[in-house]
Structure 1
Amino acid sequence: MILEAAMLQVKEGMIEEFERVFRQASEIISSMKGYISHELQRCIEVEGKYLLLVKWETLEDHTVGFRESKEYQEWKKLLHHFYDPFPTVEHFDQIRL
């Protein structure tokens, strides 16, 4: 399992619209091959800051399967105009303790 983590900074005045549209976009990502789950967390200290966590079966399910799909183009169209700056996305592999 791979954890995708993205820190999202939503432009001022767009928070309510972003959360509404993100609910719609959630249907897109959750339909993708290799998708396990996702959650969106709102920062308490910084207005407009969110943490998106997505669990994928493999790295390629995100970087190739999702990012190179027609569904990703719809995801981009729905969400990318909300961000400033554009988010950095990182991937993590769980350490078994």
Structure 2
Amino acid sequence: MILEHAILPVVPGREAAFEEAFAEAKAIIAGMPGFLDLELSRSIETPNEYLLLVRWESLEAHDPGFRGSAEYGRWRELLHGFYDPFPVVEHFDRMALA
């Protein structure tokens, strides 16, 4: 399992519109092969920032899978105009701890 992590800096004042667009975008990503689940949380200290966590079966399911798909084009149309600056996405692999 791979955990995708991104802080989404939404242009101040556009939070409600972002949340509405994200509700539509969530259905797109949820239908992708290898998608497991996601969480979107809003910062208390910085209310225009959101934490996105997406769980994928593999890194390849996210990239090139989702990012190389036609569905990603619609995701981009819905969400990318809200960000300033554009978010950095990182991937994490679960560690087995004794």
How high is the TM-score relative to the length of structure 2? 0.97
Unaligned runs of 5+ in 2: none
Deviant stretches of 4+, over 6 Å: none
3-state SS, counterpart of residue 54 of structure 1: strand
For structure 1, which runs of at least 5 residues remain unmatched after alignment? none
> Aligned partners of 2:44 and 2:13: how far apart in 1?
17
List aligned pairs for 1:33-72, cutoff 5 A.
Answer: 33-72=33-72
- 1:25 aligns with 25
Kindly tell me the number of residue pairs found equivalent between the two proteins.
Answer: 97
The CA RMSD over aligned residues, in Å, is 0.5
| Structure 1 position 13, deviation (Å) | 1.1
With structure 1 as the length reference, what TM-score do the two structures score? 0.98
Superposed CA offset, 1:14-46 (max 9, x none): 000000110010000000000000010100101
SS in 2 for 1:20: helix
